[in-house]
Structure 1
């Protein structure tokens, strides 16, 4: 009976029904995927790039070329002009001064909390590469790229890790005058101190540290044919100002108060917190520091090398010939500077997610069932903190890995 009815239906009608059904089905699946999966699902981070591959530019190259042309045309129309927008004119951005102080305090509290968490939760570090693992037993996944890794079949050799293995802060040269002398020469590499890039970002944004003085201007600088000219007196230019001479950007907030680690230690309470509370507070401090650093980097320029992890905070990159990455011979050891991202300033060291710290080691044959997360997130989650929503899908919490004897049975 069904065959008779089907034979009476014209073939054109059948094709139209099929096309309409497939089109409506594809549209429905696209809407469902874009509405639910794209917002909640986060894939695993990309594998490490090869040494000859350059980092991707955060801003497209066409946009950078257009900006350079516009700046060159504006310089021709007005060779001598006073820079009005901070921090390009040497002044501070008033709205970012409280943010810089908050980032500095969050970083100090973060390091203190991590030092206590590492005592309770074991952290493993490979002896030959930068791989980190959170757990009592190191994993068996063959991803080692260190020296003589081929002789070991790319297996890791684990040792005890520390705080700096969980979260890394790349260092950069400290600039006393970020506008008047924005670059560090090759001969000055030993006389100028190197500090973490996050700390240098806070210093340039308004934090005053006695160990790392920074010039604070009261008047904007001038740009004459592309060169910065400061018309302040010579005495003010040569004097190291320990205090900032700016009005308070926020009522009741004094930016002249210098932030010091000893003051933070005196203000901290001696209450003994549980491991769960300490893990939750440490994870929240990390998120606050990342959000604040992103906000400051929108105004204060940060540069990174396109081939190596070198970072420099300031209007320009330094001229120290210390790059040893790919194609450094053609650059005479100079860095290939480009715009930096938050991952270049605050290192996100991804580790494999472990469900049970006391369980068996992760198997190399089951690595496609395991998830990943930043080392600090993995450490705090095992300490009792709740899993952040943005890393829940990356950690693959909803995936149940099979046993070792069930590998052949899984498609």
Structure 2
């Protein structure tokens, strides 16, 4: 009678010797590296670097004219004359729950979330070990992706004085007050750069591998994740801080950072009791809309532009 269970003998099956397979695996990796960088993706990498530079330049200009508020105790950001009263603050490490935010003046890094990664000399190089984590520079993940795609490291869009947000803030510290028309042009150009950046990164990720830890925001550009034990999620400390890598998406390299969006029908200050009626939008999109840029229709659903008003 067949009971649905089969037992296979291992004596007739050959034993796989991984030491003999190692040279063959390394040879395949070396041959695969000859296919990169893909020449057809080189213009995309250049467009991404140009869009990133235009985005930083535009946002640094807009935040000098549009009020940007950041919570003192959590990553929440709000664009408007004053902060909202929606009780969504959780403190530094989520110790608090549903508290009112403590607003301070926001900066460039509050609008564009910096995502850094290890800089590799070539894509298919040895995996970065934990003791080697200080031997590699940390650069923006988008720049690293473009460099692995074949972008020239001497390009002005990759130079430190362009990719560093602090330098852009210093350059715009003494800007004169822009007119409403000029501010609208800057906002439109910034929004186009935002869309071009996300579209370009999406195209590059279809060709070039990138990894993200599913427990924290660490990103690694390359076919294999690094071995640095720097995962900041304490509940996984039994693994000694090792990352758990999965395929990265556009939001991992270019975080949208969704914020509360105030519509025309909303009160001047958003209240907690109307949070189910208010819209949401990526912070860059909200900033550009406050400066007069036309918002693409794909954001209308989450912004709830024609939605109901909160009850009094």
If the length of structure 2 is used for normalisation, what is the TM-score?
0.80
Distance (Å, rounded) in 2 between the aligned partners of 1:87 and 1:283 = 37
RMSD: 3.1
Q: Which string of whole-angstrom CA distances, capped at 9 and with x for unpartnered residues, describes residues 165-218 of structure 1? A: 11213110000122132x2111121221101111100110011214xxxxxxxx
Distance (Å, rounded) in 1 between the aligned partners of 2:187 and 2:30 = 41
Q: How far apart are residue 89 of structure 1 and its match?
A: 3.4
Residues 307 and 336 of structure 1 are in contact (CA less than 8 Å); yes or no, is this contact kept in structure 2? yes
* The structure with more radius of gyration: 1
Partner of 2:169: none
Gaps of 5+ in 1: 1-74, 211-256, 265-271, 407-411
Residues 263 and 279 of structure 2 are in contact (CA less than 8 Å); yes or no, is this contact kept in structure 1? no
Q: Which string of whole-angstrom CA distances, capped at 9 and with x for unpartnered residues, describes residues 96-118 of structure 1? A: 00110110011011100111100
Change (3 A) 1:260 1:309: closer
Change (3 A) 1:262 1:177: closer
Partner of 1:202: 146
Q: How far apart are residue 402 of structure 1 and its match?
A: 3.6
Partner of 1:188: 132
Residues 129 and 145 of structure 1 are in contact (CA less than 8 Å); yes or no, is this contact kept in structure 2? yes
Q: How far apart are residue 258 of structure 1 and its match?
A: 7.0
Change (3 A) 1:387 1:164: same
Residues 90 and 179 of structure 1 are in contact (CA less than 8 Å); yes or no, is this contact kept in structure 2? no
Distance (Å, rounded) in 2 between the aligned partners of 1:363 and 1:280 = 30
Partner of 2:100: 155
Q: Which string of whole-angstrom CA distances, capped at 9 and with x for unpartnered residues, describes residues 220-268 of structure 1? A: xxxxxxxxxxxxxxxxxxxxxxxxxxxxxxxxxxxxx77555998xxxx
Partner of 1:367: 275
Residues 52 and 197 of structure 2 are in contact (CA less than 8 Å); yes or no, is this contact kept in structure 1? yes
Question: Given the alignment of the two structures, is residue 384 of structure 1 paired with residue 292 of structure 2, yes or no?
Answer: yes
Residues 33 and 123 of structure 2 are in contact (CA less than 8 Å); yes or no, is this contact kept in structure 1? no
Partner of 1:293: 201
Change (3 A) 1:149 1:186: closer
Which contiguous aligned blocks of 4+ residues in structure 1 show a shift greater than 3 angstroms? 78-90, 147-153, 257-264
Change (3 A) 1:87 1:203: farther
Change (3 A) 1:259 1:399: closer
Partner of 1:7: none
Partner of 1:175: 120
Gaps of 5+ in 2: 1-19, 163-177
